[in-house]
Amino acid sequence: MEYDVLKSIVDKSNNIVFFGGAGVSTESGIPDFRSADTGIYNEKNNYAYPPEVILSHSFFMEHTEEFFKFYKSKMIYKDAKPNNAHKALAKLEEEGKIKAVITQNVDGLHQMAGSKNVVELHGTIHENFCMDCNESFDLDYVLNSPEAVPRCNKCNGIVKPKVVLYEEPLDSDSIEQAVKYIRNAEVLIIGGTSLAVYPAAGLIQYYGKDKLVLINKSSTPYDRKANLVINDSLGKVLGSLIE
């Protein structure tokens, strides 16, 4: 029943925006942050600090080597492939239905699936830059660095991932783009996010129409504001739209 309602909404609109969180990529084998059993924040690890401390700007500056040890082992899943959710969104964009994908993820799987218009609120692991001379580097450069802390091959400055860490502001251009797409959207589909992380979660307030769809395995603080709530696998739900 809910699937039919969603299909009807999608069939009738050519101005859909998708807003997604970590749950979009869990079916690709990338753990989210807060799940009770598999979330990065809840799993037992051998690090002296909790993940939210390690992934902060101040920790990066003060304990850079420790940061990269955690980052390379817990934040990068080089072999991950797009799942049915990523593929469905790319297909819907190709069909002219989805105008933009706004993501809190840094894994680049939306682009790998074929999505062209992706707003990455928290940056991406695939872009890295020298903190001294601003030279750009790809993910392989960081992963293949002979040193624990990757260094620029031009000036020897520290190479930092273009990922937004705790204590760092979101990129203002990305926020601006996201607000514009959400504000102008006829349909807003939100998937795979607990809507607990701000300022990203606050972007939803810019949507003022009556086709707000929430797809998440568990409930969210915004469920009562939604016009349609589906508690199910994102890959299954979105995949059904292109079958």
- Residue-wise pLDDT tens digits, 153-189: 999 999 999 999 999 999 999 999 999 999 999 999 9
pLDDT for position 35 = 45
Confidence category of residue 43, pLDDT binned at 50, 70, 90:
very low
Q: Are 185 and 117 in contact (CB under 8 A)?
A: no
Residue 33's pLDDT band, with cuts at 50, 70 and 90, is low
CATH topology classification for 1-29+81-122+171-243: Rossmann fold (3.40.50)
- CB-based burial label for 44 (10 Å; 0-12, 13-18, 19+): exposed
Please, which pLDDT band fits residue 47 given cuts at 50, 70 and 90?
A: confident
Residue 40 has pLDDT above 90, yes or no: no
**Catalytic residue numbers, as ranges:** 122
pLDDT over 50 (residue 39): no
Q: 188: which DSSP letter?
A: E
